[in-house]
Structure 1
Amino acid sequence: MATKFPKFSQDLAQDPTTRRLWYGIAMGNDFESHDGMTEEKLYQRIFATHFGHVAIIFLWTSSLLFHVAWQGNFEQWIKDPLNVRPIAHAIWDPHFGKAAVDAFTQGGASYPVNIAYSGVYHWWYTIGMRTNNDLYSGAVFLL
């Protein structure tokens, strides 16, 4: 037995409220009718937003490089990668009490830090970075 779809009521189609709603929906999605947006302009804007997204990624990566060079222990990790835990950055929080400071003081640091478990130290080593100056240079390059 074939499935029959319900028929749209023609009486409802003639109702002024229904027509206004459908017209509003149709016009709201018809860019060319109310803001001069053409398909070409739409694609250009979408393409341009990709550059904005890439710029944000570069800024984020630059900040990661800078903070590890400034507050991390990359050079110590290069010398002894099996025994030195990579530090991502220091934790500066005035609300930390003594117990929290002690709990987060790890990896050979004398202040609270976050340990980098992501593997970025290994990646940087693989691509040839060996010193904090390499990290600083990479941070400036990405800006």
Structure 2
Amino acid sequence: MALRFQRFSQGLAQDPTTRRIWFGIATAHDFESHDDITEERLYQNIFASHFGQLAIIFLWTSGNLFHVAWQGNFETWIQDPLHVRPIAHAIWDPHFGQPAVEAFTRGGALGPVNIAYSGVYQWWYTIGLRTNEDLYTGALFSIISFCPILNRGWLHLQPKWKPRVFMVQKC
């Protein structure tokens, strides 16, 4: 015996809760109706959010560079890239038992580590980085670049510095 769906009740359609839900669904992307945002303000927010995204990328890059320089084996990998497995960072977890420590101790490390399979070692070598000092310098540059970029994003949200719509639409 097949189940049949009940017919939609017109009485239910008149219920204030149902109307409110359907109104919310219908106007979910109509910014002007529920938060008074205009097309100009929307474009300005998108423009400013690009600075925020760029700042996050610089922060993330800084963390990668710093942790590989601190806990990785970049200089050892430079000497013998075919036989040395690149270490991303150490794993510090007090809940590890001895079997887990042994399972994650690899690549010639003294303790448990994550191996870097992403290709960042190869990329850094390609762009000319050769020492841990180069990695630390790159991390410092990235973290210093992060601050003004994030500040520019905040600045473009302020009324005095907001970009004009035609500038954003042409990008």
- Shorter-chain TM range is 0.7 to 0.9
Write the distance in 2 (CA, Å) between the matches of 1:82 and 1:41: 53
Question: What are the residue-to-residue correspondences of 1:1-143 with 2, within 5 Å?
Answer: 21=19, 24=23, 30-32=30-32, 35-143=35-143
Shift in alpha-carbon separation, 1:80–1:42, aligned structure 2, 3 A: same
Higher RCO structure (Cα 8 Å, ≥6 apart): 2
Residue identity (%): 70
Shift in alpha-carbon separation, 1:63–1:17, aligned structure 2, 3 A: same
Write the distance in 2 (CA, Å) between the matches of 1:108 and 1:62: 25
TM-score (norm 1): 0.78
Write the distance in 2 (CA, Å) between the matches of 1:27 and 1:92: 48
- State the partner residue of 1:9: none
Q: What per-residue deviation string (whole Å, max 9, x for no partner) do you get for residues 71-90 of structure 1?
A: 00000000111111100000
Equivalenced residues, count: 129
Q: What per-residue deviation string (whole Å, max 9, x for no partner) do you get for residues 44-102 of structure 1?
A: 00111111111112111110110000000000000111111100000001011111111
- State the partner residue of 1:8: none
Note the C-alpha offset of 1:37: 2.2
- State the partner residue of 2:169: none
Tell me the C-alpha RMSD between the 2 structures: 2.4
Write the distance in 1 (CA, Å) between the matches of 2:115 and 2:14: 64
Note the C-alpha offset of 1:140: 1.1
- State the partner residue of 2:4: none
